[in-house]
Amino acid sequence: MSWLSWIVVGLVAGVLAKLVTGQDRPGCVGTVFVGILGGLLGGAIFTAAGDDGINDFSIRSMLVAFVGATILLFVWGLVTNRRD
């Protein structure tokens, strides 16, 4: 995938994950960053489970990135709630 595809997948996955987790902190650039990191995390999880990670720009890739971004935001919420 090209870097532009990663940004688009990251933005969509980050926005969906923010909606599911109720997080509203990161902002637009942070949302893309969370989505891209979530894509890497989701890809690693799916690969470890014996499946392909993210190979192309597809609904499946969005799902993998969404799963990773959601896990990332849940962990972020747990970490930030402990500090408060």
| pTM attached to this predicted model | 0.76
Q: What's phi and psi for 35, nearest 5 deg?
A: -65, -40
| CA 72 centroid distance within chain | 7
pLDDT tens, residue by residue, 58-70: 788 788 888 888 8
- Quick one: pLDDT band at residue 84, thresholds 50, 70, 90? very low
pLDDT of 37 > 60? The answer is: yes
Count structural domains, the chain: 1
Helix/strand/coil percent split, the chain, to 5: 80, 0, 20
Give the domain range for residue 62: 3-83
Contact 58, 43 (CB under 8 A): no
Q: Which is more confidently placed, 17 or 58?
A: 17
Q: What is the rounded average pLDDT for all residues in the chain?
A: 77
pLDDT of 23 > 70? The answer is: yes
